[in-house]
Structure 1
Amino acid sequence: MEKKICPICNKIREIKLICGKCKGDMVDKGRQQEYFDDYSADDPINDLEDSCVHIYKCENCGAFEKKYIKKVIV
């Protein structure tokens, strides 16, 4: 049976993003779900069927960006 997983969550690959505001490097801060409240990181993963939503933060200016990461089939 095929299963779709997030390549970022499962450390299959990394994505390099450049900040749209200052052109600085952005770093992955985890799944969007982890930002809902103090305990949401412990909740079952609740994402989209074909993508996982991650939050990226600019190391230079501190801007945040939401990125839809396409899941891969394993």
Structure 2
Amino acid sequence: MGMCPICNGFRTMTPACPNCNGSMENNGREADFYDDYSPYMPIDQMKLEDGYPTDFSKEECPHLFKCPNCGSSQVFLINE
């Protein structure tokens, strides 16, 4: 199993918003927003259920980024 550099604080990422070109902020793993208990479930189990077919096999971590300027959000797959 890989290790996500953003989850583990090895790297930060501030992509440009596709709508307003502002800096988007990392809101964490997308799976953490599914329900009340998802942040406490095993990461590999959530990867099998999250709807991204390659995140488990290619060791990618889906992160939700949101723009504080316009409210736009986007998921980025981070290589582990």
Instruction: State TM-score, norm by structure 2.
Output: 0.80
Q: Structure 1: which 5+ residue stretches go unaligned?
A: none
The structure 1 segments of at least 4 consecutive aligned residues displaced by more than 3 Å after TM superposition are: none
The structure where strand makes up a greater share of residues is: 1
Identity %: 38
Among 29, 32, 35, which residue is 2:30 paired with?
Answer: 32
In structure 2, what residue type is equivalent to 1:35?
A: F
C-alpha separation in 1, matches of 2:2 and 2:39: 20
Indicate the structure whose relative CO is greater, using CA pairs within 8 Å and at least 6 residues apart: 1
* Matched residues, number: 69
TM-score for both structures, normalised by structure 1: 0.86
Task: Specify which structure has the higher proportion of helix.
Answer: 2
Query: Distance between the aligned counterparts of 1:9 and 1:28, measured in 2?
Result: 10
